[in-house]
Structure 1
Amino acid sequence: MIRCVVVDDEPMALEVLEDYIRMTPNLVLQHTFNNSLEALAYLQTHEADLLFLDINMPDLSGIQLLKSLRQPPMVVFTTAYSEYAVKSYEFDAVDYLLKPVEFDRFLKAVNKAIEQFNTRHKAGTQQTGAKDEDVTATKEYIFIKSGYQLIKLKLDSILYVEASKNYVTFVTTDKKVLALMPLSEVMQLLPPDDFFRIHKSYIVALRHIDAIERQHVNLNKQQLPIGKTYAVDFFKLLNQGI
């Protein structure tokens, strides 16, 4: 089954796609959103196979949302404006659907997605690796849910992340952001080439490390401990010159 997520700020368009997905074999509706920021927060921590994504939305457009995902799923853009069709192909979209979406046109897009889905699974992860790297390279920020807000954090501003019980604190160059989530979930949000977990309670930004002294990392006038469990892999990483 192909897991589908629908993001559209228009209630009628959202309802139509929900119905179409439920009517179609091989598709399962995983989640729907009428708010693009909430959708981004969900997709940063949950896997989906196919994303039906409206292009023109307030706060965060469909294009901006897609750029913010490290490993985006297959995407079918939806739009009420035909001039956005060209943009959809710039992002290797499976297809684009012009609103109001007819069921036969929806099925045509879904058939393309199923074909691509099957091809990806036969080829394994190697085929998707290059696309994921391209998106990762362009990712500059993440959104973190803190209380009732989604706060935008630039990746290059994050110094380290500290865990305390069920909460984590993102320490950046200019602020601290508290969020309710495990440190393991934070690791899924951050590029592995730029961040490393050095302790059960700490993730550090490699670019901001000033020095390493015995079993501590010196970073922004702070000393953070290197846990025994993580020390071997951390020093192996440093020896590779990363």
Structure 2
Amino acid sequence: MSPSPPKLNLLVVEDEALIAQELGDTLQDLGYNVLATCYSYAEAQQALAQYQPDLVLLDINLRSANPTHNGLALAQQLREQPAPPPFIFLTAYNDLDTIRQATRLRPSGYLIKPANDAALFAAIQTAIERGITQPQAPLPDPSDPTGTPDYFFVKAGLQIVKLNWNDVASLEAGKNYVTLRAPALQLVHAIRGSLAYVLDQLVPAHLRGQFLRVSRSVLLHRQHITSHDEQSVYCGSTCFENGHLADRQLSEPPSV
């Protein structure tokens, strides 16, 4: 069995156990690795000293006896690091004063709980870009769950690389996961869930029509299909069973 591909490492700071568990499960479903879940200010400080996360998700209210021991203080400590990781506030606070305090710390995102999967995925991907590129990308709009960019970031060895959705040749459903393959870049990425979930929640709306169903468990990007017959569909040298693809689908313009 080949080793699992590396994943982006996230640190979660959330004081409510049920919310933290649900958030951790969602992040793992989206293909991320949760290094640790911190339920208090002290635990977060210890984890930040121990790990080197690619991104940190911060709640603001950590219900500490000391009111200054909150997510804002942790964000300030992150900012003081020589090479701080990007961080996103994920909080129930939506009042103007808190938002102003938070934005002074230059977060890579500010999401109001509960954030749906698409908004969370888009915010994390944009935050990773903000941590890599200059000038910084704009903050994602937390009220717009359709703001998924045309690309996403994955781990390739020790590096974080940008993978365009148009470079993904296939979406292949397994028992619990969908495997995304970009053979030209030799990249493989796994997301827990169904094909419908990945296509409807994570793939940008204007690119969904590029992925054609060739069987019950496989979607192929039309630009990567090199030939097909009644039995098989080919993406270069890779062969897939043809259970659904017809000539007319390739000749039709992509739906949007």
What range is the shorter-chain TM-score in?
Answer: 0.3 to 0.5
TM-score (structure 2 length as normaliser): 0.43
TM-score (structure 1 length as normaliser): 0.45
**Structure holding more helix per residue:** 1
**Structure holding more strand per residue:** 1
